[in-house]
Structure 1
Amino acid sequence: MLAEIKHFFLILLLVLPIYGVAQGYFLPDNQRFEKIRFELINNLIVIPIDVNGTQLSFVLDSGVSTPILFNLANKDSLELKNVSEITINGLGEGEPISALSSQGNYFKLGNVRNFSQKLYVVLDAGINFSPSLGVPIHGIIGYDLFRDFLVDINYSGKTIKFYNPESAGPKLGNRFETLQVDIINRKAYMNAHVSLKGAKDIPIKMLLDTGSSDAIWLFEDERIKLPKDYYEDYLGKGLAGDIFGKRTKVEAIRIGDFDLSDAKAAFPDMLSYSSIKDLGNRNGSFGGEMLKRFNIVFDYPNGKISLRKNSNFKKPFHYNVSGIDLQHAGVRYVSERIADVNGIVESDHRSYGNVQILLEGATRLSLVPEIVVSGIRSGSPAHSAGLQEGDIILAVNGKRIHRYRIQEIMEMLNEKEGKRVKVLVERANSNLLFSFVLKDLFK
């Protein structure tokens, strides 16, 4: 099976033991905390981590117990230590997947170090979250960092501080509320309350999942009933395949003394959870679109979480009103005229092209990401207008989309109820213009 991935990266099987080093993650002596800047992409925290000397990008995922690597095709060499073959389970409607287990790896995040990190490597090249996020993502990491530090996530400032748990930790002002969390099987759960039509303040136990870009997932049972206003939707991609469910909203969510009204929620098809033998008394999960409304201090060692609402707290929840899903699918050339001011050719810094060729007559030819319709919801405004899966998006409301990140394009397509959206696409070597009006999904 190792031969399957030799085309993608080189594995060096080292069996020499690591000795004389600390176990787990640690900071240098006398350093109280390490501050790391992160990118917030589609409600997910993306951080850079050096793995055995190779720089990779990870999603910080509090719902994952052991780091998992994937999408390593563009890495010339990655050293993995003490490798064996395994299968792992994940969310989705597929089967368990083949992977490698590797022990004793060196992880470095700023001054944070771990000389003996266990990890898994997924062999299926089709498991790749980079196209839908628009940036390279090589893995997910969670529990081990949360276990060894007090983790202070400032969603509004896009920074994380990893505090030595033996230090005093961050200073919590009176705007923070501290609540209990339960660490079960290397994952954190907290109590909250949900209000549905006809059923108020239902106690729920929720997984804290920074690796989910969604807001709230709920499992239907005798207490928690699916609201009558909903629509079928694609909820995301797990390691074991696509996840579908019913999209709706709930009247209110209460976390401690914090209340959110008309909160976005989804009821996933439970077939996606078939690989999980025991959900215990869990009722769902809180994902990034909910968690980003707070600045959060995770204190796994003491079973606590401290929350303070931030500037995202009152922002409306995002719905895919248009019905279009997008992803990167290779690259394409675009040509642009460059302004000539007093004989000086001015470049447009907003272009995301990495390769640019200047042609005679002040024309620039740029190699830019190609954005395609990866999915379209049946009966949605975009579907009714005639857009199809596989259409290459060229412009939205007159704006050439290669100047924008994929999340910015999604915002253009889903701005507000009643807005008319015009989408220029390429299909079968022809340019087509489609127009539709965004409608309230629950009316």
Structure 2
Amino acid sequence: MKRLRAICLLFLLCYCFLSAKAQYFDLRPNKKHVTIHFRIVRNMIIIPLKINNTGPYNFILDTGVGLMVITQPSLVDSISLTSKRIIKIPGLGAGDDAEAYVTPVLNVDIQGLDSYNVSAAILKTDYFGLSNYAGIHIHGLLGYEFFNNLAIKLDFGDSTLNICRPKDLHAYRNANKIPITIEDRKPYMQANIVYPNGKKIDSKLVIDIGAGHPISIEHMIKNNGLPQKFIAANLGIGLNGPIDGFISRISEVDIGRYKIKDVLASFPDDTKTEIVTSIPRDGNLGIGLLKKFDVIFDYTNNAMYLKPGFLYKEPYEHDMSGLEYYATGTDYLHVVISRVEPGSAGDLIGLEKGDEIVTINFRDVSKMNLEEIDALFKSKDGRSILLEVFHDNKYDQIILTLKRRI
């Protein structure tokens, strides 16, 4: 509760300090279209950019963020700020109040684009741990300013952003146009959610490509309870830190003319932490579902276009190890377990928080990325995987037998 309120206060304070002028990006005068290649890392869209002629830095595209956030505190010294304001955020840090910088206008250089009046918030402490989660250096989040003035096509097949001005947009042939609203600098849409009991609910969802899940449904536990089959989980990393809750399946999500079946759904635990949002909503539509499509965002005309992509028919599968883990050390070459789900495959063989995974099927994890490990751990129910782990100050070889939990 305290941290949620503090984050809301952070954004309120930052917004008050930021320039009153519109903050946006535009194509350079001699350009009508720009193509930018991105990386997908653990369901995060990452693009390179420079700030004040330094970098490049890795930023996550995040429609769920209303302002640019620099999550790597060391950038304060690297980007040569001419001045900066400090604001205090009560209750965010441990002990004393936390502090954040609000920058003056920055020169944000993205291939083929110019920035106008773009400022950022910089926390003095990295509360998010996005670099550890991704296994590569992550420096921040880029949201509303990137999307508000341009039409942006996301092609997950070839990992490209195709960008133009809205007047020059040619939507995909046979694409489904989905009406959206822009409220509090974020996009919202309506979707029908069909639950396992057959109940269909028209739901207002924030469109959040910075969220890795397919869909997150809020206020579900208090209002309706959980579906019959579920597992407890850390649902990811939000701006307020780790999100505790549950994962289950819902029968269907209907978006326009598309009906996506048997969808993995996240349910934040609203019995422990009150979910407070500036705009009333029912949930959050994440990249786990949107990456099934080629997507166009056109904020100017309150539209999103969807066309089925190469992942459209791929079924949803969840982790079968019961392990949550992160990368650490120089260049993030070590993988350490952060949580073991009780009763899971990992729990049954005695793995614990703090154990280090050294090799998987005789392959050193320093030669793997976290996505490869994720894919192995949700590959097949009953599959046996040989792990070498550093546990209780010694190296052990153990067999992990994957177990489908949801």
| TM-score, length of structure 2 as denominator length | 0.87
Cα gap change, 1:162 to 1:170, in 2 (>3 Å): same
Please state which structure has a larger fraction of its residues in helix. Answer: 2
Residues 1:312 and 1:91: Cα distance change in structure 2 (over 3 Å): farther
Q: Which range moved further: 51-60 or 311-320?
A: 311-320
The aligned runs of 1:123-134 (5 Å cut-off) are 123-134=124-135
Consecutive unaligned residues in structure 2, runs of 5 or more: 1-18
Q: Distance in 1 between matches of 2:32 and 2:233?
A: 45
User: Matches of 1:116 and 1:399 in 2, distance apart?
Assistant: 48
| Other-structure match for 1:65 | 66
Distance in 1 separating the partners of 2:321 and 2:95: 28
In structure 2, the residue matched to 1:190 is 189
Alignment-mate amino acid for residue 57 of structure 1: N
* 1:155-304 map, 5 Å: 155-165=156-166, 167-174=167-174, 176-221=175-220, 225-270=225-270, 274=274, 276=276, 278-280=278-280, 282-304=281-303
- Contact 2:253–2:263 at 8 Å: present in 1 too? yes
Given that residues 344 and 403 in structure 2 are in contact (C-alpha distance below 8 angstroms), is that contact kept between their aligned partners in structure 1? no
Match of 2:120 in 1: 119
> 1:317 is matched with which residue?
316
Report Cα offsets for 1:270-315 as digits up to 9, x if no partner.
Answer: 37864735441x1101111111111100010010000001011112
Q: Describe the superposition over 1:216-236 as per-residue Cα deviations: whole angstroms up to 9, x where unpaired.
A: 100235876521111111111
Amino acid at match of 2:338: S
The verdict on how the C-alpha distance between 1:121 and 1:271 changes in structure 2, with shifts beyond 3 A counting, is farther
Q: In the alignment, residue 65 of structure 1 is paired with which amino acid?
A: G
Report deviation, 1:114: 0.9
Q: For 1:92 and 1:199, how far apart are their aligned partners in 2?
A: 44
Task: Give the TM-score taking structure 1 as reference length.
Answer: 0.80
Q: 2:90 and 2:369 mapped to 1: Cα distance?
A: 32
**Deviation, structure 1 residue 47:** 0.4
Residue identity over aligned pairs, in percent, reads: 26
Which residue of structure 2 lines up, in the alignment, with residue 335 of structure 1? none
User: What letter is aligned with 2:283?
Assistant: G
Q: Residue type matched to 1:372 in 2?
A: V
- 1:6-21 aligned at under 5 Å gives the runs none
Q: Which residue of 2 aligns with 1:150?
A: 151
Q: Distance in 1 between matches of 2:147 and 2:95?
A: 29
Check 1:270–1:247 CA distance in 2 against 1; reply closer, same or farther (3 A cut): same
Q: List per-residue Cα deviations over 1:322-377 (Å, max 9, x = no partner).
A: 0111211214xxxxxxxxxxxxxxxxxxxxxx8xxxxxxxxxxxxx8111112221
Counterpart of 1:105 in structure 2 is 106
Cα distance, 1:86 vs. partner?
2.3
Residues 326 and 149 (structure 1 numbering): CA distance in 2 closer, same or farther, change over 3 Å? same
Q: Provide the C-alpha distance between the structure 1 equivalents of 2:82 and 2:64, rounded to a whole number of angstroms.
A: 25
1:7-26 deviation line (CA, Å, top 9, x unaligned): xxxxxxxxxxx9xx996322
- 1-structure distance, mates of 2:293, 2:92: 26
TM-fit CA distance, 1:64? 0.2
Q: Counterparts of 1:247-396 in structure 2 under 5 Å?
A: 247-270=247-270, 274=274, 276=276, 278-280=278-280, 282-331=281-330, 369-396=333-360
Residue 15 of structure 2 aligns with which residue?
none
Amino acid at match of 1:190: M
Bigger Rg, which one: 1
Deviation at 1:433, TM superposition (A): 1.5
Moved more, 75-84 or 396-405: 75-84
Structure 2 CA distance for partners of 1:204 and 1:126, relative to 1, 3 Å: closer
One-letter code of the match for 1:391?
A: D
Distance verdict in 2 for CA 1:81–1:191, change over 3 Å: farther
TM superposition shift of 1:421: 2.1
Name which of structure 1's ranges 307-316 and 393-402 shifts more when overlaid on structure 2: 393-402
Deviation of the 1:140 alpha carbon: 0.2
Count of residue correspondences: 385
Which SS does the other structure have where 2:103 is aligned?
Answer: strand
Which amino acid is the alignment partner of residue 120 of structure 1? A
Pairwise CA distance, 1:208: 0.5
Give the direction of change, closer, same or farther, for the CA distance of 1:88–1:285 in structure 2 (3 Å limit).
farther
